[in-house]
Amino acid sequence: MGVDMISRITTGTPWPDDPTEWNPVGDVLFLADEDGLADTLRPRLDAARADTRRVHFIRGVRAENGDEAMVNLQNDPALIEAELDRRSNVALVLFDPLSNYLGDADV
């Protein structure tokens, strides 16, 4: 479902509930933790005919010691906010899966 949403947003393709109404084209900020970009996500996006130039991935955040760590919504909200400020046309922020980005939040 997420890949279909990305394709529709990045190409302006109509949503199923109104197949005659084309939509404004937008960008997607995609935080994907479990699937590889080259071997899984990109082929899925290509198969769905998404405009991959409009899909922006965040894979991790650079820690103070130089290591890369996973984005954590409790600790790194400024990172997401900065990306949204930098990209004025983001229509969707997708976390896949959301539970991997919640840190120690009790859900």
Are the C-beta atoms of residues 12 and 22 closer than 8 Å to each other? yes
Tokens 């990306």 appear where? Answer: 83
Q: Where are the domains of the chain?
A: 2-14+26-101
Indicate if the pLDDT at residue 107 is higher than 80.
Answer: no
pLDDT, tens digit, for every residue of 4-44? 999 999 999 999 999 999 999 999 998 887 777 788 889 99
pTM for this prediction: 0.81
pLDDT, tens digit, for every residue of 42-100? 999 999 999 999 999 887 666 677 777 677 777 777 888 888 999 989 999 988 767 66
Is the preceding omega at residue 97 within 30 degrees of 0, hence cis?
Answer: yes
